[in-house]
Amino acid sequence: MEIKKVTMIPAKKSVETKSLSSIVKKRKVCGYARVSTDKEEQQSSYTAQVDYYTNLIKSNPSWEYVDLYSDEGISGTSMKHRDGFNKMIDDALAGKIDLIITKSVSRFARNTVDTLQTIRKLKEHNVEVFFEKEHIYSLDGKGEVLLSILSSLAQEESRSISLNTTWGHRKRFSDGRHSVAYNSFLGYDKGEEGKLVVNKKQAETIKMIYKLYLLGKSLYGIKQELERLNLETPMHKKVWHISTIKSILTNEKYKGDALLQKQYTVDFLTKKRKTNEGEIPQYYVTDDHEPIIDKKTFDLVQIEREKRNGVSYSGTDVFANKIVCGECGSQFGKKVWHSNDKYRCVIYRCNKKYSGKKCSTGHVTEDEIKAKFVEAYNSLDRAGVIRNVESIKQVLMSSDKEKAEQKKLQDEYDKCEKKLYKLIEENSTHAQNQDEYNKKYRDLADKSTKIQEKLDKITATIKDKGDRAKVLETYINDLKASKNKLTDFDEGLLYALVDRVKVNKDSIKIIWKDGTES
């Protein structure tokens, strides 16, 4: 075997493992500190980290102090929203930093993927990270293996903490205990033991929102009124958002109840949350605290919301959505004639007046409608109307028959479902003729679907009757509390008592909320 000649080429530079004491060339060094909560004890830890690393770097003659990057009250499970951390990495990649010193792997990040990706990115730019607690240098040969192990442990710790926290929240919910973000929750302050206590001043704003909605105002109309009165939002601003008003109108806490676990955390790493649509249990606490809005008013608002849902609704003026055409059933729209001169006049006319099959119903003026309402109101036999409505409520709004039918259908549905589950179980544990099984399954499934359809229909009827009964009850109360006679038009009474105004070719009819006409 031929012996090969091998000549060694001496190294020109010596290679040695870096350490805090062996670096001769001045290195640009920064520190990184982070705490994950705003609690007082964590604040002390945060301050201690900042002071320690600032003094450590500045006291070392071999290092050039760059900066102390930090994130306060930020979780380490993701780099998202960690502004201090992200700025530090950007500066390091831009050549402003040679060495990053931090307390531990868990302070740097609790997400294995983020940790390793960041370390590798820094490594490509010859930037080293020193983890003091574990005594790991990221550019050391063993560094990445140890980092991978420690980061995985840190991630598992985060998962465990998240599970424990989630369990704690759900245990509190199941016990009927909860908390809210009081700083941004209009109408309530934090009382003893975290109880909701009514803030009387803010409660007036909540009451106004509900009142304006029931008076026919749109969400945009309510926004305009709140801003005109210079009332503060839950975030103590002066500009209101439609979504904020909608949230207030649908929040059950304003009627004294509390629905718990409306949202839940999907991923402990991303902290992503979603609306609970039945994936996990919810808890409803009745009469949990002092209400701002009585339950009847709250329910009426929900009825009104359903009524407006999917309908083009404008609550910008007193007659919006109230006037309908007696000929074609379309709504009337508001028009202004001679807007810039002394003959200015507000009129309402059918929206199909000049579109499609043109409607022949004429226009009406705002003054004509107001005069008709005053006339119709003054001619009302209020005592007779109240007796009539009470009778309607007792006879037509009774749902005893439907409730009995609902129970019967629910029992049938439950029995059918049990048979279906039993059939599936038998098929999974015993060999069967699959053609016969499929036929039985289809028959039971079809029967179950038909029962469910009937059940949904009867349930909707019961709800509709209940909603109409609440509307009529409010109508009676408003009628009892109203004036005996009107001398001038009253906008509030029109909203409270009138369902719609029907305009025919030669007449104007007031349709009251009990269905009668004047």
- As a whole-number percent, the residues of the chain with pLDDT over 90 amount to 9
pLDDT tens digits along 442-468:
888 888 888 888 888 888 888 877 777
Separation of alpha carbons 332 and 81, rounded Å: 51
Are 188 and 198 in contact by the 8 Å Cβ rule? The answer is: yes
Q: Which of 161-170, 266-275, 497-506 has the highest mean pLDDT?
A: 497-506
pLDDT the model gives residue 481: 75
Among the listed residues 470, 459, 483, 456, the one whose alpha carbon sits nearest the alpha carbon of residue 513: 470
pLDDT the model gives residue 268: 44
Q: Do residue 272 and residue 291 come from a single domain?
A: yes
pLDDT band (50, 70, 90) for residue 97: very high
Task: Write down the H helix ranges in 76-188.
Answer: 83-93, 105-108, 112-124, 143-174
Q: Kindly state whether residue 515 falls inside one of the protein's structural domains.
A: yes
pLDDT the model gives residue 20: 44
pLDDT at position 497 over 70:
yes
Separation of alpha carbons 225 and 49, rounded Å: 50
pLDDT band (50, 70, 90) for residue 315: low
Q: Do residue 186 and residue 208 come from a single domain?
A: yes
Q: Which domain holds residue 125?
A: 27-162
Task: Point out the domain boundary residue: 261, 285, 308.
Answer: 308
At 306, list the tokens: 């359903």
Q: Which of 152-166, 238-252, 301-315, 336-350 has the highest mean pLDDT?
A: 238-252
pLDDT at position 21 over 50:
no
pLDDT the model gives residue 164: 53
Element (H, E) at 209: helix 200-214
Higher pLDDT, 228 or 74: 228
Q: Kindly state whether residue 4 falls inside one of the protein's structural domains.
A: no
pLDDT the model gives residue 88: 93
Separation of alpha carbons 261 and 178, rounded Å: 9
pLDDT at position 16 over 50:
no
Q: Do residue 345 and residue 421 come from a single domain?
A: yes
CATH number of the domain to which 191 belongs: 3.90.1750.20
pLDDT at position 413 over 60:
yes
Q: Count up the domains in the chain and report the number.
A: 3
Q: Do residue 492 and residue 348 come from a single domain?
A: yes
Over the chain, what is the mean pLDDT? 77
pLDDT at position 163 over 60:
no
pLDDT tens digits along 465-490:
777 777 777 777 777 777 778 888 87
Q: Do residue 208 and residue 304 come from a single domain?
A: yes
Q: Do residue 513 and residue 471 come from a single domain?
A: yes
Q: Do residue 333 and residue 277 come from a single domain?
A: no
Q: Kindly state whether residue 8 falls inside one of the protein's structural domains.
A: no
pLDDT band (50, 70, 90) for residue 66: very high
pLDDT the model gives residue 41: 47
Distances (CA, A) of 444 to 369, 407, 434, 436, 448: 58, 20, 15, 12, 6
pLDDT at position 55 over 50:
yes
Q: Kindly state whether residue 400 falls inside one of the protein's structural domains.
A: yes
